[in-house]
Chain A
Amino acid sequence: MNAILNRYKRIHWLSGIALIIALVLSLPILVVTSSLFGGFGPTLAHLIDTVLSDYVINSLLLLLGVSVGVLLIGVPTAWLTSVCEFKGKTLFTWALLLPLAVPAYIVAYTYTGILDYAGPVQNTIRELSGLNYGEYYFFEVRSLGGAITMLTLVLYPYVYLLARAAFLEQSSNVLEVCRTLGYSRKQAFWRLSLPMARPAIIAGLTLALMETLADFGTVQYFGISTFTTGIYRTFYGLGDPTAASQLASILLTFVAFLIILERYSRRQHRYHSSSEQRPASALIQLSKKQSCWAWIVCLIPICFGFLIPASVLSYWSITQASFDGQQFIGLAWNSLYLAFSAAIVAVLLSLLLVYAKRIKSTALVVSANTVVGLGYALPGTIIAIGIIIPLAWLDHRIIEFVDHYFKIDVGLVLSGSLFALLFAYTVRFLAVSMGAVQTGFDKIKPNIDNSARSLGHTNLQVIGKIHFPLMRGSMLTALLIVFVDVLKELPATLILRPFNFNTLAVHAYELASDERLIDAAPASIMIVAVGLLPVILLSRSISNSRAQKAL
C-alpha cells in the first residue's frame, strides 16, 4: 500500500517541480508581454514618432537579406554534400559547419578591421594606385548590406545542416520511382527532392532568422537601428524600462511568428523521414569540371565564414594586439566559470524536466517542457529586460525589508549578482540542453526501464544503474553546447552583468566599440577556439550516424 502511495507522491512531486521550473522560466516573457497593458508612456510615443519605423524596416530588411543569403549558400552546399559524389566531399561536409563556431559580432569586427579605411585591403589599394581616400570607390562594411553578409556567413550552417539531413533521409526508392515514371534527374530534383526537403529547409531558415533577430553585437557595431539596439538604447540611454519592454514585446511578435513557422515545418518534416540508406549507385558522380564548381560553391562560405576571419584574428593576436596577460586570465576565468555554472544548472534542470515527462507524460508536464523549450528563440535582450525588471523590484523589496528589520544595507542581491545572468542563460539555453538530454533518454527504450523494475529495482535504482551510465554521453554533449553558447552570448551578459564584471565576449565588444579592433582579437579568437568544440562534436556525430547507417 505504501509503495504505491509513495510512487504517486513522487510522480506528483516531479510534475510539480517541472511546472514550477516552467513558470519561473517564463517569467521574462510574462513581464515583457504584460508591459503592453501598462499604458504607453511619453518615451514610447516619442519612439513611435521617430525611430520605430526604422526598427521595423531595418529588422525586416535584415531578415529578408539573411533569408536569401542562407538559402543561397545552405541549400546548394547541402545538396552537393548529400546527393553528389566528388573528391573532397567528406572534408567539405564537416568544414561547412566551421562558421558555426564564430559569433556574428566577431566576424563583423574582423571584417571591419580588414576592410576599413585603415585596414590592410584599402591600404594596399592606396599604395598600389597612389590614390587618396575618397578618390576611389570602396564599399562600406558598416552598413545594412554588411550586416546581412556577416550574419549570412555564420548562420547558413543551420540551413545546411537541416537541408542536408533531409536530402539524406529521402529514400532513394522514392526518387527511383520518380525516374521510372519518366522524370529526368533534374526534373526529379525540382519536382520531388526540393519539395520534400522544403519543411526542413524552412525549419533551418527559421533558426537562422531567430538568430538574426536576436543579434545585437553586429547591428550595434554597424550602427543599424533594429529592435535589439533600440531596446538597449531605450533601457540605458533613455532609462525607461517600461518602454524598453514594450519594444521587446513588439519584437516578441516577430519571434512568435518564427516559432510557429518552425514548429509547423518540423511537424511536416516528420512525415517525410525514412531511415533507408541511399545506395552508392544513387549518388550523382560529378565530372571534373562539375567538381571544380562544387569546390568553389563549398569553399566560398568556408573561407569567408571561417578561414579568413580565424586566420586574421590569429595573426592580429600574435603580432599586433596589446595584450595584458593578467587581465586576460581574469576574463577567461570569469567566462569559463560562468559558462560552466550555467551549463550545470541547465543540464540538471533538463534532467528533471525530461525525466518528469518520461515517468508520467501528463499534458501538464508536456506543456511545461514545451514552454521551456521555446527559450532558444528569445533574443538575449528580451530575456535580459524581462529579468532585470522583476529582479530589481524584488531587490528593492528585500532592501526595504532587511533595512527595516535589521538596519543592514544588503545591496542588489539578485539583479546585481551572477544570479540574474545564470537565470537569463537558463531561460535562453535550457532548450538546447533539453534537446540533448531528451535524445539520450529516447535512446533508452521504455522496456529497458520496465525490465529493470521487474528485476526488483526501484525508479531511483534504475536512474543510477541504467539511465546514468547510458546517458553520460548525452549529458556531456548538453553541458558542452550550453557552455559554448553562454561563452558566445553577448547582449544579455552586457545588460545583466554585475558592476565591473567582464567576460571575454563583453571585453571584445568594448574594445571593438572603442575602435580597438586588433586588441579585441585575443578574446575573439579564444571564443572562436572554444566554439569549435561543439562543431567538432557535431561533425563527428554526422559521420558516426553515417557509419552506423552503413553497417
Chain B
Amino acid sequence: MNAAEPILAPLLNISNVSVAYANHTVVKDVSIDIKQGEIGCLLGPSGCGKSTLLRAIAGFEPLSQGSISLLGKSLSNKDFTTAPEQRNIGMVFQDIALFPHLNVAQNIAFGIQHLTKTEQRARVKQLLDLIELSHYATLYPHQISGGQQQRIALARALAPKPKLLLLDEPFSGLDAKLRETLVPQVKAILKAEHVSALIVSHDQGEAFAIADKIAIMENGKIHQWDSAFNSYHIPATKFVASFIGDSRFLPGIVSCEHCIDTQLGRLKNPFPHGFKEGSTVDVLVRLENIITQADSAHFGKVVKKNFHGSYYKYELSLADNSTILYSTNAKDTAEHQLGENIPLKFCSESLVIFAR
C-alpha cells in the first residue's frame, strides 16, 4: 500500500456483506462506502435489516459473507469478527442504555479510563459544553429527561473520539416535538466533533435532516445509496420512489420516445426516457406534481380528504380507478367536497418512469 492510498480509501468499506440468523438471511449482499466526515443513514421500514447491519458494523453480529473494513483495516469477514471493544467504533442505542449506577460525568468518562484524570475531566467538560448540559455532571440518569439522556449517551459515545459513530434509531423513543429540536442539535454536535457517523432510521424527515447520504433498505437489500435530493428526485427503484415522499403511480403507455399517455393526458419528458413504444409503464406522481387548471379536460374525483392544519390532502380517483394525491393550501383555496370532480394538470420538469 503506498502513501497516497489511505487518503483516497473510504473510512468505512462494506462490501458484499450478508448477515444470517439460523438460515434466515437478514442482510443480503450489501455494499456501501462511507467517507471521512460523512454522515450516512440507513433508512427503511422496520424489519428491513438496517439495525442488523449496524450491529454487524459494531461487531455484535458475525458476517456470513463479505467483509467490513475501517481505514483499510479488516474488522469482520466470514471467518472472524473483531470484538466490539477493539474496533474504535462508538455506538448510541435506541434505548439509550446509560449506566444507571454512574452519574452523567462518570457515564461520559466510561470509555476514556485510559486517559489521566485531568484529561478525562477536560474531555467530559468539553463534551458537556458541546451538548449544553454543563450543569448536569453530577446528576444520575434517572434524574434527567429523555432528550437529555440521549444527548449524554451521544457524548459518552463521542468521548473516546471513535473513528466512526453508529446511532441505532436514536430518536425513536422521543416525542415528535423533542425530536424536531434534537435532530439538528445532534447533527451540529457530530459536525463539531468532525466525526463520521452512520445512523439508522425509519423516518424520512429525520434522515433528510441529518444525513449527507442515505441508503434506502428493504428486505435486507440496499436499493439506493445517494444524497437525499437524488433519492427524492431520481429514485433508483420503484420501492425508493414509493417509500420516499407522498406519491402514487400512474399507469401509462409509451407513445413516443419522449411521451407517455396517461389518464392525465400526454406527459412529456425533456429527454428520451428510453422505454419502448407501446410498452406499459408507471409514472411517479408526487403530491406536488398535481395542480388544478380550470380548462383541463382531465378530472379527479375526491375519494378521501384529510385536514392537516396548513393544508388539505385529498386522494383523487381517476377514470381508470387509479388514484393520485393532491393538496391545497387550507387558507387560500376553497375546500373540496367528497365526490367533487376537480380539473387537474400534471406538472413536472422531468418524469420518473418505471416499467410495469
A residues lining the B interface (CB < 8 Å):
1, 3-5, 7, 445, 447-448, 450-458, 465-466, 469-470
The 6 closest A-B pairs by CB, nearest first: A455-B111, A447-B97, A447-B93, A454-B91, A453-B84, A3-B83
Binding site for A on B (CB under 8 A): 58-60, 80-91, 93-95, 97, 99-101, 110-111, 114, 153, 156-157, 159-160, 166
User: Is the pair A456, B80 in contact by a Cβ cutoff of 8 Å?
Assistant: no
Given known contacts A445-B97, A470-B100, what 11 new A-B pairs fall within 8 Å (CB)? A1-B80, A4-B82, A447-B94, A447-B95, A450-B93, A451-B156, A454-B90, A457-B85, A457-B111, A466-B99, A469-B101
Question: Given A445-B97, A470-B101, do A451 and B91 touch, yes or no (CB 8 Å)?
Answer: yes
Most buried by A among B101, B157, B166: B101
Closest to A468 in B: B101
Q: Is the CB of B99 within 8 A of A450?
A: no
Please give the distance in Å from A18's CB to the nearest CB on chain B. Answer: 21
**Are the C-beta atoms of A455 and B90 separated by less than 8 Å?**
yes
- 5 contacts across the A-B interface (CB closer than 8 A): A4-B81, A451-B97, A455-B157, A456-B114, A466-B101
A454 to B157, CA, bound (A): 8
- Shortest C-beta distance, A469 to chain B (Å), equals 5
Given contacts A1-B80, A4-B80, A7-B83, contact A452 B99 (CB under 8 A): yes
Closest B residue to A466 by beta carbon equals: B99
Residues from chain A with a CB closer than 8 A to the CB of B94 are 447
List, in ascending order, chain A residues with CB within 8 A of B159's CB.
Answer: 455
The residue among B81, B84, B99, B114 with the most chain A CB atoms within 10 A of its own CB is B84
Q: State the majority secondary structure of interface residues on A.
A: helix
> A3-B83, A445-B95, A457-B85 in contact; A450/B58 too (CB < 8 A)?
yes
Judge whether A451 and B82 touch: CB under 8 Å. Answer: no
Q: Looking at the assembled complex, report how far the CB atom of B111 sits from the nearest CB atom of chain A, in whole angstroms.
A: 3
What's the Cα separation between A76 and B95 when bound, in Å? 40
In the complex, what residues of B have CB within 8 A of residue A451's CB? 91, 93, 97, 99, 153, 156-157
Query: Chain A residues near B88 (CB, 8 Å)?
Result: 456
Residues of B within 8 A of A1 (CB): 80
B86 contact set on A, CB distance < 8 A: 3, 456
> In the complex, what residue of chain B is closest to A454 when comparing beta carbons?
B91
A7 vs B100: C-alpha distance when bound (angstroms): 27
Query: Which chain A positions have C-beta within 8 A of B166?
Result: 454
Partner of B110 from the list A5, A7, A450, A452 (CB cut-off 8 Å) is: A452
Asked whether B97 lies within 8 Å of A448 as measured between CB atoms, the reply is yes
**CB of A209 to closest CB in B, whole Å:** 39
Residues of A within 8 A of B80 (CB): 1, 4-5
Q: Is B91 a contact partner of A450 (Cβ separation < 8 A)?
A: yes
Chain B residues positioned under 8 Å from A465 (CB to CB): 110
Complex contact A454–B58 (CB within 8 A): yes
Q: In the complex the two chains form, is A456's CB within 8 Å of B91's CB? A: no
In the bound complex, what is the Cα–Cα distance between A500 and B85 (angstroms)?
Answer: 55
The verdict on A453 contacting B85 (CB below 8 Å), with A1-B80, A4-B80 known, is yes
Docked Cα-Cα span, A1 to B73, in Å, equals 12
- Known A4-B80, A454-B91, A455-B157; contact A448-B99, beta-carbon cutoff 8 A: yes
Q: What CA separation (Å) do A451 and B95 show in the bound complex?
A: 11
CA of A482 to CA of B110 in the docked complex: distance in angstroms? 35
Q: Are A456 and B60 within 8 A (Cβ)? A: no
Task: Check B110–A455 contact: CB distance below 8 A.
Answer: yes
Identity of the chain A residue whose Cβ is nearest the Cβ of B168 in the assembled complex: A447
Within the complex, what minimum Cβ distance (angstroms) separates A359 from chain B? 12
User: In the bound complex, do residue B84 and residue A454 qualify as a contact, i.e. CB atoms below 8 Å apart?
Assistant: yes
Interface pair A4/B83, CB less than 8 Å apart:
yes
In Å, the complex CA distance between A1 and B79 comes to: 9
Q: Assess whether A455 is in contact with B95, with CB atoms less than 8 Å apart.
A: no
Which of B80, B99, B111, B114 is most buried by chain A, counting CB atoms within 10 A of its CB? Answer: B99
Which A residues are in CB contact (< 8 Å) with B111? 455-457
Contact A450 B97 (CB under 8 A): yes
In the complex, the chain B residue whose C-beta lies closest to that of A6 is B83
Greatest chain A CB density within 10 A among B58, B85, B86 is at: B85
Q: Report the nearest B residue to A448, measured CB to CB.
A: B97
Contacts A448-B99, A450-B93, A450-B97; A456 near B85 (Cβ below 8 A): yes
A455–B86 alpha-carbon span in the complex (Å): 9
Query: Contacting A3 at CB < 8 Å: which of B82, B114, B157, B160?
Result: B82
A443 to chain B, nearest CB (A): 9
- Nearest B residue to A443 via CB reads B100
The distance from the CB of A166 to the nearest CB of chain B, in whole angstroms, is 28
Give CA–CA (A3, B100) in the complex, Å: 29
Complex alpha-carbon distance, A466 and B98, angstroms: 11
- Bound CA–CA A375/B57 (angstroms): 42
**Bound CA span A1–B82, Å:** 7
In the assembled complex, the Cα of A450 lies from the Cα of B84 at a distance in Å of: 8
**B-side contacts of A452, CB under 8 Å:** 99, 110
A412 vs chain B, min Cβ distance (A): 47
Cα(A517)–Cα(B162), bound, Å = 72
Residues of the B chain whose Cβ atoms lie less than 8 Å from the Cβ of A4: 80-83
**In the complex, A183→B72 CA distance in Å?**
70
Q: CA A458 – CA B60 in complex, angstroms?
A: 13
Question: How long is the Cα–Cα vector from A424 to B33 in the complex, in angstroms?
Answer: 59
Min CB–CB distance A450 → chain B (angstroms): 6
Q: Which of A452, A456, A458 has the most CB of B within 10 A?
A: A456
Interchain CB contact (< 8 A) of A456 among B81, B100, B153, B160: B160
**Contact for A454 among B81, B85, B99, CB less than 8 A:** B85
Q: Could you say which residues of chain A place their CB within 8 Å of the CB of B160?
A: 455-456
